[in-house]
Chains A and B, each alone.
Chain A
Amino acid sequence: MEIQEFKTMLFSEAQKSGFTDIEIYYEKKEVFGCQVYKGEIDQYEIAEDGGVSFRGMVNGKMGYAYSEKTDDTSIPFLLNNAKENATFMNDDSMEEIFAGSSQYEQRNFFCSSITDVSIPEKIQFIKDVERELFAQDPRIVATDYCSIRTESVTRNLANNKGLSLQDKINYLYVIVEAIAKDGEETKTSVEFEITKDFHQLNAKEIAKKAAEEAISQFGSRNIKSKDYSVLLRNDAAANLFATFSSNFSAENTQAGISSLNDKLGNQIASQKISIVDDPLLENGLASRTFDSEGVASKKLTLVQSGVLQSLLHNQKTAKKDQTETTGHAHKDSYKTAVKVGPSNLYIEPSTTSFEELLASMGEGILITNLSGLHSGANQISGDFSVAANGFFVKDGKISFPVNLMTIAGNFYQLLQNVEEIGSDLIFPLSPIGSPSVLIKSLSVTVE
C-alpha cells in the first residue's frame, strides 16, 4: 500500500477508535554498499526499506506502536497496541502532539551528486583504495574490510494538528582497515572518509593514511605505568565525548542518572571548553530541520567557556524544568519512543594546531585509539577505564609507539583538567565530534 493511502486510512481509523491527537512518523532509506577483497567484489548490498511509527492520545494518554509492514493488517495492529500501551502511561506524562513552530529553516541536506555517480564508478574507486593500500608497504598483508557505502534517508512527520514536515539527507563514506605484519607483531588501523562530494575523494590518500597508521605502531615498547599528560587525538577524544554525551540530556538529569543535575550556570569544565549542538550543520551526519516532535531545529550552546548554559530538552523535559524545548526530541528510528538526544554535537575547535598541542605537551602520551568504551565507561559516575593505543611523546615530538595501554579517570574531572584544545575538529563516522584535547594528567597502565 502506498504510504499516503496508508496514512489516510490510519488517521481515519484512529479517530474512529477514540484517538484525539494523532501523529505518523515514517522513514524511507536507500542503501548501497560494496566491499572488495583481493580486487574482487566480496560483499555487495542494495536496499530499500523503511517503517511507520504511530503516536496518539487516547483518554488523555499517549500510546505508541510501529510497523515495517504497511498493509491492511497493520492498521488494527498499530491502533490496538497503541491503545493498550497508553493505558500503562501515567496521567502526568506531559507528552503531546505538537502543532508546529512558527518557522522552519529551508535547508537541503541531500546532495544529488552522490546519487549521480554510477555504481561501477564507486566500485572502481573502492578497488583502487584496496590496490593502493597494498602498494604502500610490503608489511600491509591483509584487510578485513574495504568498502564504500551510500545512504539516503527521508524522514516525514505529520499530525492531525496540521503539521506536515519532511527532511532528506544523504552521505557517502569509504572505510578501510589495514592489517600489517612485521615478524611476530600484528597491527591494525581503520581509516574512513565521509563526504557529499564523491569527486573530492582520493583513493591514494585514504590508503596512505590507513597504511601509515598501521605501520607507525610497529616496535611498540613498554613504559612505566603512572600518571601522564595525555593528548587525546581528535578521533579518540570524539569517541570518549560521545560516550558521556547522554549526561547533557535533561531526561537523564531529571531521572537522577546524570551528574549534571543542578549544575546549570556552574563551571563544569575548563574555560577552554565550549560545547555546541548544531542540527543545521551543512555536512553533519545528523542534520535536520525539525526534531522528532516537529519542533524547528536551531543551534544551541550547551557549555560556554566551561560554564553549563543549557541541557538538551524536548517538550516534556522542558515542561518539567519550566523552560522551553531546545528542539532535541529524539527517536533512534520509527521503532522507538520520543526521548532526548543530540544532533550534531561537538566541542568547539580553537586555532591551535595538532603539532602545537604536541609541542606544548613536551612529554606525555598521545592517544590515537580507544576501545571498549561501551563497557569500560560508567556513564552515571563518569568513571572510565578503557583500552588505548598510542605513542610516547618526548620533547614535543612523537617518540615511539607504546604497548597496549589503558587510560583511566573520570569524565567530569577530565573536563576540568583540559589544558588546551586543538583546531582539528572531526566527526569520526558519528554526529558527535571533537578536536584534539590536551589533558593535564591521566592514569596510564601499560600491558
Chain B
Amino acid sequence: MFSQTVIEDVLGTALSTGGDFSEIFIEDRFTNNMTLQSGKIETCLSGRDFGIGIRVFKGLQSVYAYTTDFSKEGLIKAAKNAAQAIQGNTIIKLPPFVQESYGTNHPIQLMPQDVDKSRKVAIMKTAYDSAKDYHDSISQVTVRYMDEEQNVLIANSEGKYIEDKRVRSRLAIQAVAVRDNQMEAGSYGPGAHQGFEFFENLNTDHYAQEAARIAVTMLDASPCPSGKFPIIIDNEFGGVIFHEACGHGLEATSVAKNNSVFAGRIGEKVAPEIVTYIDDGTLPNEWGSLNIDDEGEKTRKNILIENGILKGYLIDKFNSRRMGMEATGSGRRQSFRFAPTSRMTNTYIAPGKSSPAEIIANTENGIYTKYMGGGQVNPATGDYNFAIMEAYEVKNGKLGRPLKGATLIGNGPKTLQLVDMVGNNLGHGTGMCGSLSGTIPVNVGQPMIRVSEITVGGTKGE
C-alpha cells in the first residue's frame, strides 16, 4: 500500500516532538451489505472504507490522529497534527522494521469479492422463504447479508511491520409474526471469520426457521412475572450475560484507571469453583477471531477466571503502561477512526459436568431463557441489564409456558458468585459489541448455566 520509507517518515514525524512510541494503522476494507424484505432486495450496497490512523504515546499520554487523505503530504500532516500535542525533549531513533508474518489460523477458501452477487442473493432468498413459509402468522421477514474483507497494515516505532487480512461473513434473519393486534419478532444472526464458504456450509433453513419459530411462539407467550428467580440460561448467545456481567469489567480500559469492580483483585476468588472464563482470539474461523489484534500483537488464549480465581485481564498496549502488565493481544478498534483499546474477542465459560436435562430437572420454580437479546453494563458499579428474547417458566423440574417482555438486572460480580450449575454443551454465539473503540465483532459463548437468583423485571407484578 505504502512504501516502508513513507511509513518510516510518518512514524518519525509523529515522534519529532518527543513522543516515546508511534504507530500507524492503515486500513483498506471492502464491504457488501444487502437487505431483503417483502421478498425483494431493498438495499444492495458495496463500499470501500479506507483510512489511516496515527498514534503517539508519551508516558501516559496518548494522541490519535486519523485521515482519509492518503497522499504522502496528507499523512505527514496528520503525523504533525498528532505530534503537536506532545511536548518532550528526547527524540527516539527508529529501529529497522522487522517484517513479521504469523501465517493464518483462519483459512479463507472463497474471497467474498470473487463471488458473484447473485449467489449471495440466492442465500438470502432461501432464508427468506424458509422463515416466511414457517407459519401463516409470519407477516414479514427481513434478511440481512454482510461480507467484508479488511486489509490492515500496522507498523510502529519498535520496528513492528505486519499485515493482516480479516474476512467476515454474516447472515441475520428477523421474522415478524402477527395475530389480531399483536406483533412479535424473533431473530437469529450467525456469522464467522470466514469467506463465502461460510454460507455454503450454513444450515440456513435451521436459522431462518428458528427466527420464525421464536416470533410465533411469542404470540402465545404470557407476560413474564417480576421478582427474583433461579435462572437457567441456555448455551451460545446466552453467554452475553457474562460478557456484560464480567467481560467488560475485566477490560484494561476500566481496570487501568482502577474504575472496575475487578481492579486489583488478581488471585482472589471471584466466582464458584465451577466457573472458568476464557477469552480466546485464536479459535479457528470464529466470528471474534483474529490472527493479530489491531496493534499487531498476536492474539492468544487468555484465561481470565480459572476455577473461580481471577487470573488476568484483557490488556492493550497503552493501558499496559498504566498497569505495568503485559499486553494480551486484546487491542481492538472498529476502524481507523478509533484508537484501539482493550476489548474481548471470543469469550466463553468453559464447559462443566451437568447435562442440560439435569439442570432443568433440578430447578423447582424458575425461568429458563432459551435465547437472550443484548445487554449493557456499567463497569464502575458492575450493574448490568439484559433482555430476554425467548423464555419459559420452569415448574418442578419441567418446562412450562412461554414468557415474554422481561429484562434481567443485577450486579456482575454478585451474579458471578451465584452460578450454581454449569452444563456440558458449550456453544458460541455471534454478536456485535459497542464500547470506546467502536463496534466490533465478538463471540459470546457458554454451556447452559444456572444462576441461583437474578432479578427479573417483567410486565406482571408479583
Given contacts A259-B183, A381-B182, contact A66 B409 (CB under 8 A): no
Q: Point out the residue from B40, B139, B406 that lies within 8 Å of A90, measured CB to CB.
A: B40
Q: Point out the residue from A43, A88, A142 that lies within 8 Å of B34, measured CB to CB.
A: A88
Q: Are B178 and A49 in contact (CB under 8 A)?
A: no
Main SS at interface, chain A? strand
A139 proximal to B (CB < 8 A): no
Q: Are A383 and B459 in contact (CB under 8 A)?
A: yes
Q: Point out the residue from A46, A88, A375, A407 that lies within 8 Å of B457, measured CB to CB.
A: A407
Q: Nearest chain B CB to A244's CB is how many angstroms away?
A: 13
When distances are taken between beta carbons in the complex, the residues of chain A under 8 Å from B49 are 51, 68, 335
When distances are taken between beta carbons in the complex, the residues of chain A under 8 Å from B176 are 256-257, 380
Q: Are A375 and B376 in contact (CB under 8 A)?
A: yes
Q: Are B375 and A372 in contact (CB under 8 A)?
A: yes
B67 proximal to A (CB < 8 A): yes
CA distance in complex: A82, B69 (Å): 24
How many interface residues does A have (CB within 8 Å)? 72
Q: Point out the residue from A40, A50, A85 that lies within 8 Å of B46, measured CB to CB.
A: A85
Q: Are B48 and A225 in contact (CB under 8 A)?
A: no
Q: Are B407 and A255 in contact (CB under 8 A)?
A: no
Q: Are A406 and B407 in contact (CB under 8 A)?
A: yes
Binary per-residue interface labels of chain A (407-438) against chain B in the complex, 1 for a CB within 8 Å, 0 otherwise: 11100000000000000000000000000000
- Chain A, residue nearest B388 (CB): A385
Q: Nearest chain B CB to A348's CB is how many angstroms away?
A: 28
Q: Are B459 and A385 in contact (CB under 8 A)?
A: yes
Q: Point out the residue from A69, A225, A380 that lies within 8 Å of B461, measured CB to CB.
A: A225
B352 proximal to A (CB < 8 A): no
Given contacts A69-B28, A371-B376, A408-B457, contact A88 B385 (CB under 8 A): no
Q: Are A225 and B227 in contact (CB under 8 A)?
A: yes
Q: Are A374 and B47 in contact (CB under 8 A)?
A: no
CA distance in complex: A254, B364 (Å): 45
B380 proximal to A (CB < 8 A): yes
Given contacts A68-B48, A385-B387, contact A40 B61 (CB under 8 A): yes
User: B25-42: which residues lie under 8 A (CB-CB) from chain A?
Assistant: 28, 34, 37-38, 40-42
Q: Are A179 and B259 in contact (CB under 8 A)?
A: yes
- Chain B, residue nearest A225 (CB): B226
Q: Point out the residue from A226, A256, A385, A405 that lies within 8 Å of B406, measured CB to CB.
A: A385
Q: Nearest chain A CB to B142's CB is how many angstroms away?
A: 8
Given contacts A226-B461, A409-B459, A443-B459, contact A50 B68 (CB under 8 A): yes
Q: Are A375 and B61 in contact (CB under 8 A)?
A: no
Q: Nearest chain A CB to B405's CB is how many angstroms away?
A: 5
When distances are taken between beta carbons in the complex, the residues of chain B under 8 Å from A51 are 49, 68
When distances are taken between beta carbons in the complex, the residues of chain A under 8 Å from B409 are 387, 404-406, 445, 447
Q: Are B386 and A447 in contact (CB under 8 A)?
A: no
Given contacts A88-B34, A335-B47, contact A48 B456 (CB under 8 A): no
27 A/B residue pairs, CB under 8 Å, sorted by A: A41-B61, A47-B66, A48-B67, A49-B66, A49-B68, A50-B68, A64-B45, A66-B45, A66-B47, A68-B49, A68-B50, A68-B51, A69-B68, A77-B48, A142-B258, A142-B380, A186-B380, A186-B381, A225-B462, A255-B38, A256-B38, A336-B45, A375-B386, A381-B183, A386-B385, A404-B410, A447-B409
Besides the known contacts A337-B42, A385-B406, A408-B226, 13 further A-B residue pairs in the complex with CB atoms under 8 A apart: A50-B68, A68-B47, A84-B117, A93-B40, A142-B259, A179-B380, A255-B38, A256-B176, A337-B45, A381-B184, A385-B458, A404-B409, A408-B459
